[in-house]
Amino acid sequence: MSAPQPDLLFHLYRSQCIDAFARSEAAIAAFLSRHNLFKQTEQCGQRLKKVRSIPASPRYSKASRVEMHLAIDEYEKLQSIRNDLVHAEMKLLQGSGAVACFTNPREQGGFGLMARLLTQSEIKALAGTALEIAVRIETAARPPQPKPAVPSA
């Protein structure tokens, strides 16, 4: 099997990023559903605020709550780049090295273009980071396992 074309790798890594972000969002939605707080029409930012407002309880340990907040902090740092990957057309620029250019229509004003430029190694690293965050959110969102019953003497 031959190695993928460099242009295809940009698309592959972008797809991996989007899948990882979707995985985080699915874990957050499932978590909110378990707490009877999920609303289909809410934006991601509203859902994150709701998650932050849920207190520790027998169904959500203090340790899980701390880890969830730390993972959400990391997720929020990537929110603007996530929006660009999802909402912008990716154009590949050639020059001294291949670069993916994202111009999100939501971020455009009346003068000039706002663009995000990512190299292949940057978008690949982003995919890895987004996946790590998704796994952390999934882990923190899991309900606690019941403790095994101790046999009585």
Instruction: Please check whether residue 57 lies inside any domain of the structure.
Output: yes
Confidence of residue 94 (pLDDT cuts 50, 70, 90): confident
pLDDT at residue 104 in the model:
80
Structural domains of the chain, count:
1
Q: What is the mean pLDDT of residues 126-147?
A: 92
Backbone angles phi, psi at 41, to 5 degrees: -85, -5
| 3-state SS assignment for residue 115 | coil
Mean pLDDT across the chain: 89
Residue 107 has pLDDT above 70, yes or no: no
Is residue 146 domain-resident?
Answer: no
Q: Read off the pTM.
A: 0.85
8-21: average pLDDT = 94
Domain that holds residue 134: 6-87+121-141
Residue range 55-66: average pLDDT?
A: 93
Residue 111 lies in a domain: no
pLDDT at 22: 96
**pLDDT greater than 60 at residue 87:** yes
Looking at residue 150, its pLDDT comes to 73
Question: What is the Cα–Cα distance from 83 to 80, expressed in whole angstroms?
Answer: 5
Q: What digits encode the pLDDT tens for the residues 1-14?
A: 565 576 788 999 99
Is the residue at 152 inside a domain? no
Q: Which residue has the tokens 């559903």?
A: 33
Does residue 108 fall inside a structural domain?
no
Structural domain includes residue 60:
yes
- Residue 100 domain-assigned (yes or no): no
Average pLDDT (69-84) is: 95
In a domain, 14, yes or no: yes
Least confident of 3-12, 19-28, 54-63: 3-12
What letter would DSSP give residue 33? H
Q: Residue 94: exposed, middle, or buried by beta-carbon count in 10 A (0-12, 13-18, 19+)?
A: exposed
